[in-house]
Chains A and B, each alone.
Chain A
């Protein structure tokens, strides 16, 4: 079976840095995706990792360790608009299917 774990909720202050962790146990691995989903809206793609290491995209970075089955999404200089759910998803190598975690709801406060 496939198992992806991430914290349910996190709170952080505007201007701060927050790290959202994701651990996975899947039958195979062909990449890990992070999505952002604002309440009532569609998930939007943030980042993709398939090799170990850090991928940086502006204020957002994502890290992967395949040997540990672990990834994190790092959000810097938090803004109120970053309040959203963040979804971790793994492609286990079966066609283009993704297995999603339950998502982490991030609340940014003043």
Chain B
């Protein structure tokens, strides 16, 4: 079974802090994704990566950056956290060949105070 692991289930940070969310997958998938999920808005793509050191902006990249130094790890960075970034963050991965279902981690519920 594919395993996508997010480093924290719950996280509380303060406005202005730099926040790191980590995601690791164990299936040698090329593609990795970061989403946020908010009530009434569904899943929205922040960034994705289709290879090591490669990244592309999703639909809502403002205020975020990402890092992919190793194939199995994809990090989401909130450069200066703000209260409107309080949300559920979901990481996903999929193989490069299309189309394939994405496999999701359990999510990180992030609160910015």
Is there a chain B Cβ closer than 8 Å to A57's Cβ? no
Shortest Cβ distance from B90 into A: residue: A42
A72 CB within 8 Å of chain B: no
Contact of B105 among A42, A45, A99, A102 (CB under 8 A): A42
In chain B, what residue has the closest Cβ to A89? B43
Q: Which chain B positions have C-beta within 8 A of A45?
A: 101-103
Q: How far is the CB of B93 from chain A (nearest CB, A)?
A: 10
Q: Which interface class (under 10, 10 to 19, 20 to 34, 35 or more) fits B? A: 20 to 34
For the complex, what is the distance from the CA of A96 to the CA of B98, rounded to whole Å? 6
Q: Is B100 an interface residue (CB 8 A)?
A: yes
Is A109 an interface residue, CB under 8 A from the partner?
A: no
Given A100-B42, A102-B41, A103-B42, is A42 in contact with B96 using a C-beta cutoff of 8 Å? Answer: no
Question: How far is the CB of A36 from the nearest CB of chain B, in Å?
Answer: 11
Do the beta carbons of B98 and A97 come within 8 Å of each other?
no
Q: Nearest Cβ distance between residue B55 and chain A, in whole angstroms?
A: 12
- The reply to whether B98 and A91 form a contact with Cβ atoms under 8 Å apart is yes
A: residues with CB less than 8 A from B are 30-31, 33, 41-45, 48, 50, 87, 89, 91, 95-103
Taking A95-B56, A102-B40 as given, write out 13 further A-B residue pairs in contact, using a Cβ cutoff of 8 Å, ordered by the A residue number: A30-B98, A31-B98, A33-B99, A33-B101, A41-B106, A87-B42, A96-B48, A96-B99, A96-B100, A97-B48, A98-B45, A98-B102, A103-B42
